[in-house]
A and B are shown apart, each in its own frame.
Chain A
Amino acid sequence: MVVTVIKGENKKKLDINGNKTVKDLLELLDVPSETVVVKKNDFIVIDEEQVQDGDTLEIIQVIYGG
Chain B
Amino acid sequence: MNVCSKCGNPHVIIKKKSSGQILCRECFIETTESKVLHDIRKYKLVEKGDKVLLGLSGGKDSVMLLEILNSLKERHVIDLVAVTIDEGISGYREDGVRIAKLNTEKLGVKHRIVSFKDYFGFTLDDVMKKTSDQPHSRHPCTYCGVFRRWFLNRVAKEEGATKIATGHNLNDETESILMNYLEGNIQNLTRIGPKSESRNERFTVKIKPLREIPEKEIGLYVVAKGLEVHFAGCPYAGESFRAEIGSFINDLTAKHPTIMYSTLRGFDKMKPVLKKEFAEESHTGICENCGEPASGRLCKACSFVERWDEDKV
- Residues of A whose CB lies within 8 Å of any CB of B are 34-35, 37, 39, 43-48, 60-66
Contacts and interface: CB of A to CB of B under 8 A. Distances in A.
B240 interface: yes
Interface residues of B, number: 31
Contacts of B222: 62
Contacts of A44: 13, 25, 220, 223-224
Interface in B10-26: 11-15, 25
B247 A65 contact: yes
Contact of A63 (B15, B215, B224, B234): B215
Q: Give chain B's interface secondary structure class.
A: helix
B313 interface: no
A62 B216 contact: yes
B220 A65 contact: no
Contact of A61 (B231, B239, B246): B231
A18 B297 CA distance: 69
B219 interface: yes
A45 B220 CA distance: 11
B2 A64 contact: no
B254 A34 contact: yes
A39 B219 CA distance: 13
Contacts of A35: 216
Contact of B2 (A37, A43, A46): A46
Contacts of A37: 219-220, 223
Contacts of B233: 64-66
> Top 3 A-B pairs ranked by shortest CB distance?
A62-B219, A64-B233, A66-B237
Contact of B216 (A34, A45, A46, A64): A34
A52 to B, nearest CB: 16
